[in-house]
């Protein structure tokens, strides 16, 4: 279409240098999942680039940096190996794709039990609540790590993971907790839900089946009141349950849009999911 030969095949080497716009990068990733030749090309181009990067840069890494990294190992739990069957094909650039799959499996098990109850507005079953909290504790640390936080914040992250887990338990366990299914649900958001407690004024996103946002973009949550949308936090990766920022107040709905990395002041795209809240 632009006279540039190759279609999705032709995107591979540009993807290897991270030179694609977000939409193109998403197309390249989709193509790579199904094209062994392009995966091979990607590996080779990356090897060639890494080889071209100086082994001995003008300024070597400082001893202090090494010491900080070694000291931080205590705070960084190692992930278990993946079962061979789900080993990612295009790996390096999506190091955490498998996390979302593991999560998705866990969540599917859990929510299929929860789904028995019917539609919007029911109480969250206790088993589901407990499982949800455990999942939040296990995965939030990992999710935070890949979304670009400074590694020095690891200790802080671990603490906040516990806080998220606690908050999720509180919201989902509140007497007036409502479990709201996504309406719309484009781009893999169809199975996601929001748990909201009006009495606590808090809402939690349960991103079942949701994939990482494309490179350079982020999922962003919104409290919608009438036709005004209030930012409720960004959600870069497929990670775990997240507590929305800000109070529910009189919001009519929660919505999710895809925004440029860093988030937006107001939504700039059509929501991929909307969760209507009852009064």
Q: Scanning residues 155 to 214, which ones bind other proteins (CB under 8 A)?
A: none
How far is C-alpha 264 from the geometric centre of its chain's CA atoms?
17
Residue carrying the six token digits 């455990």: 134
* Interface with other proteins (CB under 8 A), residue from 79, 113, 186, 228: 79
Angle formed by the axes of helices 36-52 and 22-34, to 10°? 120
Span of 2-10, 109-117, 121-129, 247-255 interacting with other proteins by CB under 8 A: 2-10
Span of 174-182, 244-252, 258-266, 270-278 interacting with other proteins by CB under 8 A: 258-266
Span of 91-99, 161-169, 203-211, 241-249 interacting with other proteins by CB under 8 A: 91-99
261: contact with other proteins by CB under 8 A: yes
CA distances for 22 relative to 26, 30, 111, 136, 215, angstroms = 6, 12, 31, 28, 6
x/- letters, 54..73, toward other proteins (CB under 8 A): xxxxxxxxx--xx-xxx-xx
Span of 84-92, 112-120, 194-202, 203-211 interacting with other proteins by CB under 8 A: 84-92
Closer by beta carbon to other proteins, 140 or else 179:
140
Closer by beta carbon to other proteins, 129 or else 142:
142
Distance, in Å, from the CA atom of 40 to the CA atom of 208, rounded to the nearest integer, reads 31
Contact indicator for 22, 187 with CB cutoff of 8 Å: no
How far is C-alpha 258 from the geometric centre of its chain's CA atoms?
12
Closer by beta carbon to other proteins, 45 or else 166:
45
Which SS3 state, helix, strand or coil, does residue 164 take?
helix
Residues within window 112-151 making contact with other proteins, judged by CB under 8 A: 142, 145-146, 148-151
Distance, in Å, from the CA atom of 94 to the CA atom of 99, rounded to the nearest integer, reads 10
């Amino acid at each position: 279409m632009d006279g540039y030969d190759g279609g999705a095949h032709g995107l591979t080497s540009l993807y290897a240098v991270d030179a694609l716009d977000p939409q193109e990068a998403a197309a390249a990733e989709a193509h790579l999942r199904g094209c062994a030749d392009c995966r091979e090309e990607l590996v080779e181009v990356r090897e060639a680039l890494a080889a071209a990067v100086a082994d001995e840069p003008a300024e070597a890494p400082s001893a202090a940096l090494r010491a900080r990294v070694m000291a931080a190992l205590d705070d960084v739990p190692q992930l278990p190996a993946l079962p061979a069957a789900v080993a990612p094909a295009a790996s390096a650039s999506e190091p955490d794709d498998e996390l979302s799959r593991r999560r998705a499996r866990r969540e599917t098990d859990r929510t299929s039990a929860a789904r028995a109850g019917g539609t919007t507005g029911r109480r969250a079953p206790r088993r589901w609540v407990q499982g949800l909290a455990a999942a939040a504790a296990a995965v939030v640390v990992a999710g935070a790590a890949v979304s670009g936080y400074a590694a020095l914040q690891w200790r802080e992250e671990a603490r906040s993971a516990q806080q998220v887990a606690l908050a999720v338990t509180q919201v989902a366990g509140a007497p007036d907790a409502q479990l709201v299914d996504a309406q719309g649900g484009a781009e893999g958001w169809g199975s996601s839900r929001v748990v909201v407690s009006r009495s606590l004024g808090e809402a939690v996103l349960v991103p079942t089946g949701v994939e990482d946002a494309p490179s350079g973009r982020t999922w962003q949550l919104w409290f919608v009141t009438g036709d005004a949308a209030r930012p409720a936090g960004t959600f870069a990766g497929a990670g775990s349950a997240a507590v929305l920022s800000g109070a529910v107040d009189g919001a009519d709905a929660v919505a999710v849009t895809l925004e440029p990395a860093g988030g937006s002041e107001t939504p700039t795209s059509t929501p991929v999911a909307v969760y209507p809240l009852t009064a």
